[in-house]
Amino acid sequence: MFFKYNFDVRLLSIYHKYFMTIVPAKQPENEVFFKLFVHNLNRLYFGKCYLAGKIDDLITLASIKSLKLGLEEFADDIKREIDRMEVIYSIIGEKPSDANCNPIKSIVRDNFCLDEPQDMPVIVDTDIILYLQMLEHINISACRMLKLLADKLEHADVKQLLVECFDEAVDNDGLFELIAKEYLGVE
């Protein structure tokens, strides 16, 4: 019994020495959180705006009716998301800034590669589905981060708008998965 007790005390001593003496990182000030929020909101906003400008081209390229209909529904959702984000900008007293928004626009512009002719329409259709789902996954992750920041900044109304954007992104991801399953004949 003495050995077990002595061993436990030594472990506690080691734990205390190495883990309790580490100085926790200083939390950034709310100003930093606010700038981080605006930075990420700008990226999300301008990515959606850029995609909204390209969605008609994607609808034209799609070869199957269910994908065309899904893209039309997606276009309506993009408009609603952009409207929500504009309300968020109004609430926080900021204006959208296109500075530092190249990553998302680059994904939209470069990864679709739909200007290259394909022998089979299935390649174009599945590329559209793949890249839209990829963009929605980025949107889902961005909304998660923005919701955390909205909590930190105590903006419940902003968080609710982000929850709605998040839910729509999840629904759209599911929509394109269903279209892909139907198209490929997979359950």
- Position 9 scores a pLDDT of 61
Q: Is residue 48 part of a domain?
A: yes
The confidence score (pLDDT) of residue 120 equals 86
At residue 150, the pLDDT reads 96
How would residue 103 be classed by pLDDT, with cut points 50, 70 and 90?
A: low
User: Does residue 21 sit within a domain?
Assistant: no
Would you say residue 64 lies in a domain?
yes
The answer as to whether 115 is a domain residue is yes
97 occurs within a structural domain: yes
What confidence tier does 131 reach under pLDDT thresholds 50, 70, 90?
confident
Tokens (6 digits) for 118: 């394909």
CATH number at residue 72: 1.20.1260.10
CA-CA-CA-CA torsion for 93, 97, 107, 80, nearest 10 degrees? 40
pLDDT recorded at residue 7: 52
Q: How far apart are CA 125 and CA 131, in angstroms?
A: 10
pLDDT reading at 3 higher than 60: no
8-48 pLDDT tens trace? 566 666 655 655 555 555 666 888 999 999 999 998 998 89
Q: What is the pLDDT of residue 30?
A: 83
Q: Residues 113-125: pLDDT tens digits?
A: 666 777 888 888 9
- Among residues 93, 90, 94, 132, the alpha carbon closest in space to that of 111 is found at 132
Could you give the CA distance from residue 49 to residue 34 in angstroms, rounded to a whole number?
22
Asked whether residue 174 is assigned to any structural domain, the reply reads yes
Q: Mean pLDDT in the chain?
A: 85
Task: Please give the structure tokens belonging to residue 162.
Answer: 């982000």
pLDDT for res 121: 87
Q: How many domains does the chain have?
A: 1
59 within 8 A of 72, measured Cβ to Cβ: yes
Residue 4 lies in a domain: no
Average pLDDT of the segment spanning 52-63: 92
Domain that holds residue 34: 28-184
Query: Cα–Cα distance between 75 and 49 in angstroms, integer?
Result: 11
**How far is Cα 37 from Cα 20, in angstroms, rounded to an integer?**
32
Residue of 140, 114, 126 lying closest to 44 (CA atoms): 140
Please say whether the dihedral angle defined by the alpha carbons of residues 115, 118, 122 and 127, taken in this order, is positive or negative: negative
pLDDT score, position 54: 87
Please give the full DSSP string across 105-167, using - where no structure is assigned. HHHHHHHH-TTS--S-HHHHHHHHHHHHHHHHHHHHHHHHHHHHHHHHTT-HHHHHHHHHHHH
Q: Is residue 56 part of a domain?
A: yes
> pLDDT-based confidence at 100, cuts 50/70/90?
low
